[in-house]
Amino acid sequence: MTQPPGGRGGGGPATVALVAAGGAAGACARYGIWLVWPSVWGTFVVNVAGCALIGVLMVLAGERGHGPDWVRPLLGTGVLGGFTTFSAYSLDVVRLLERGALGTALGYAAGTLAGALGGVWLAVRLTRMIRPPSSRSAVRP
C-alpha cells in the first residue's frame, strides 16, 4: 500500500542506490540498538521510533512537499525500511483510517499482525523440525 520510492511510480538506478544505502544504514542502526539492548524492548523502541519517524517524514516530505525528491526513497523506504518495516505497516493503517476505511484498516491491522505472528510461529516450528536447535539458539533480529 505504500507508494514506490519518490511516490511517483518508481525511480531509476540512482533511486535504487539511495534505497540500498538507506536500507543498509537503517539495518545497521537496528542491529546496533540490538547489541546495546538485546531484548523485546529494544525491538519495541525500534518499531515505535520507526513509526514516529515515518509519520514525521510523511508530513514533511509527503504532505508539505519539503525537501528534494530523493529524501523519501532514502529516508522512508531506505533508512526506515531497513530500520523497521513495522513503520510502513503502521503508516498504511493510518492512511486507511484517514480515508474513512475503518473496516479495511482494522482488517489489515489485525490480519497483518496475525499473519506475521503466525508466519514466524509456523516457520520456527517447521525449521526446528527440519533442523533441531543447537546449543547456540539465541534469537536475533
Apex CA 16: angle with CA 60 and CA 99, to 5°? Answer: 40
Asked whether 67 and 7 are in contact (CB, 8 A), the reply is no
Does 81 show up as a binding residue in the annotation?
Answer: yes
**In Å, how far are 94, 122, 126, 138 from 87, measured between CA atoms?**
11, 24, 28, 25
Does 127 show up as a binding residue in the annotation?
Answer: no
Give how far the C-alpha of residue 10 lies from the chain's centroid of Cα atoms, to the nearest Å: 18
Q: Which residues are annotated as a binding site?
A: 81, 84
Q: Which residues are annotated as a binding site for Na(+)?
A: 81, 84
